[in-house]
Chains A and B, each alone.
Chain A
């Protein structure tokens, strides 16, 4: 998967026709295979742009950053990224008319070692769902399957799961990089940063990590698009996707909702209801 040529062509067209002020894409680091997101502002920077299977980072995160605010933005989105873009549109965080979206029919991206990332092998929506121009060959619909890691962990005993997650929360250093790298965490002030003596959880204890990650994953329940920006940002490599994928599987299996961000205007499972929702867990 290498769409560098197409991306550069489209970006050139956009800048020449003065349709955008900035373009958010990827460039090489200059020293290894990996890539750096880059915000370019003019034609002269277009040769920097690149797109291939190392273009991992979900660029919709930049729509909440000050460098794109109130500007006309050109943007590359893969399948998962486009779903987060869809949610950002639904949640009124960005204006569609200010965006020019290059959708990618994604073949899956690779990790540092060059292996296809796990979530890409399970991806249900590799093609961008929001786009102005599509690049690549589109795919047929794929079936939902519960994430392999979640399935494996769920098959273990309660005690094993507890021990596993105790290690996770213990390893967390509360840097909040997961939150900052998430395109859907755009609150002016996060609930776990609210300063009131009894509410505040700034300390880095296992207990506060439990609190922060649980609150975070519940705020993303039904919204997480599985782009794994959080995991790539986590300096401790925590398996944060487990929490999100667990919620996703519960939501998908019990409420028969769409996957997050697939349908425009769909806010996610927590913001609607059905009379037929399961009731048997309630006395």
Chain B
């Protein structure tokens, strides 16, 4: 299915963004300490919708917060009462602008795990109530490899509205979903510039091709998937993980990692239960109450991380749990590249 495409210029886009911000609860990349994190904004000047890839955190926290309050309780001699939980602050109707397409794709992957045996209603509500406006990148960053994975970046419909900076200098705004299409109807200013499909498609394709040509990293994901499923006992994991310092940053910035821990904090007689990010690279991640830890060694945790991304998730849900965004590699203090790791390990497969 194809939706309408509109063409505009820089000022038009700016007006479009301003109109979004004015009418909606809007989230956008806001700079803090040289880093872009998605925050609630009220003015366009607060954010940079075209923030650099390597410095932008994913939009995952807007759907799966870094720490979410599960419940609040009061324990007295009269018994333990679950206090009235606050309304989910992320459940309202909202718009995200400046999202990267890989981040949007990551949500599609996460949808699978969140609506599998148990449906996470919070996550689903947040997804349903959010319009994602994504700008297609012009140039791949050094660790990007989204074009090498099991989704087509060109036809990707994970975002509701796609903005493309055409190589002709024009800016194309295109709805990618019904939700996006309906959303665009609220902005009459850009309607004047509707393009017929036969004009829009080549412009978008041309931009994509120019973009796709900038990738340093290329791989054949089918081969990697295939080979990785056979390398569980590869000694390569040990040497590849040798310079990992188990800092967990990769998991915290990853747009698809979804492991969490539950913790209680109690003051006086009131307690709050939080659900917060955790990382399988953490040595205590698999520590059990009895003291047994099935993954005490670093390479085992590393293997789990790599294989979960490229083998286990694929086996269960048919998709890679990696969208090729390169965020983990950008964030890694010792520059370990997941791309290198999976490729080198799969090379050892028979």
Contact = CB atoms under 8 A, between A and B. Distances in A.
Q: State yes or no: do A and B come from one complex.
A: yes
Interface of A: 29-32, 34-39, 57, 61-62, 65-67, 167-168, 171, 173-177, 180-181, 189, 193, 195, 197-198, 200-205, 208, 229, 232-239
B265 interface: yes
Given A174-B276, A203-B276, A237-B34, 16 more contacts: A29-B335, A36-B334, A175-B249, A175-B277, A176-B247, A177-B247, A180-B246, A197-B264, A198-B265, A201-B265, A203-B272, A232-B333, A233-B333, A235-B35, A235-B249, A236-B37
B71 interface: no
A263 to B, nearest CB: 27
B248 interface: yes
A202 B37 contact: no
Contacts of B243: 36-39, 62
A216 to B, nearest CB: 14
A31 B265 contact: no
B151 interface: no
Contacts of A66: 297-298
Interface of B: 32-35, 37, 57, 66-67, 142, 216, 242-243, 245-249, 251-253, 261, 263-267, 271-272, 274, 276-277, 279, 284, 297-298, 331, 333-337, 340
Given A57-B333, A200-B263, A238 B247 contact: no
B277 A173 contact: yes
20 contacts: A31-B216, A32-B142, A36-B334, A36-B335, A37-B334, A38-B243, A66-B298, A168-B33, A171-B35, A173-B66, A177-B252, A180-B248, A181-B333, A197-B265, A197-B271, A198-B265, A229-B333, A235-B253, A237-B35, A239-B33
Nearest to A38: B243
Nearest to A172: B66
B314 to A, nearest CB: 26
Contacts of A29: 335, 337
A198 B37 contact: no
B336 A36 contact: yes
Q: Which 10 A-B pairs have the closest CB atoms?
A: A204-B67, A203-B274, A233-B333, A175-B252, A180-B247, A202-B263, A177-B247, A204-B66, A235-B331, A237-B33
A238 B335 contact: no
A40 B142 CA distance: 26
B350 to A, nearest CB: 23
Contacts of A232: 333
A204 B298 CA distance: 25
Contacts of B340: 30
B186 to A, nearest CB: 32
A166 to B, nearest CB: 11
Contacts of A30: 340
Contacts of B245: 61-62, 65, 180-181, 233
A44 to B, nearest CB: 13
Contacts of B252: 173, 175, 177, 235
A57 B335 CA distance: 10
Contacts of B266: 197-198
A32 B331 CA distance: 15
B254 to A, nearest CB: 10
B236 to A, nearest CB: 14
Contacts of B297: 66
Nearest to B32: A171
B298 A65 contact: yes
